[in-house]
Amino acid sequence: MINKEIQAQLVKKHNEFIKYISGLSDDDFLFCLSGKWSAGQQVDHIYRSVKPLLMALKLPVWAIKWWIGRANRPSKSYDQLVAKYKHKLSEGGKAFGRFIPEEVNPKNRETICRELHALVNKLVFRMGKYSESELDSIILPHPLLGKITLREMMYFTIYHAEHHMKLAEKTLIEKNRS
């Protein structure tokens, strides 16, 4: 995907996720299976994942390259990056530290959805400042995937919203089976 397509997909996938979360009843928003996250926690996790990425993109390109380094390989395709992420998850990879969500009160749902929407819009705005070559030369640290290119990080961010929406949907399917 080129930058404009990445930007469009970031908006699309996050808006779909926000719309889904916003449409849940309070009971569904809070429901979780043993050891799994509620829909509220899913949205909090996505918020916690996008926020530091936006902060990193506020740095000048030279600072990112100085701090982390430069890519020494071509970027993976979207499908290759998703396959790598799924493989890491199958090996037991999980969120940790600051990416672990808190319980979200349904009264705060509108606020967190609005804040996530605003973060994604700012992220897309920042993405517009990067050239295609910078997407492939800048690397950023990912807690599960290691150092990945900015293009790969955006691919991950697109997929991540979709992945967590599917997890929330799956939890509610299980709830309705009970």
Render pLDDT for 52-64 as a digit per residue (tens, 0 to 9): 999 999 999 889 8
* C-alpha span between 98 and 95 (Å, rounded): 8
The reported pLDDT for the residue numbered 176 is: 82
Strands 146-149 and 139-142 turn out to be antiparallel
Domain boundaries of the chain, sorted by first residue: 3-177
Q: How many degrees, rounded to 5, is the angle at CA 174 between CA 169 and CA 177?
A: 130
- pTM of this structure: 0.95
DSSP 34: T
DSSP summary character for residue 70: B
Is the domain spanning 3-177 CATH 1.10.3720.10? The answer is no
- Retrieve residue 53's tokens: 């990425």
Query: Per-residue pLDDT tens for 144-170?
Result: 999 999 999 999 999 999 999 999 999
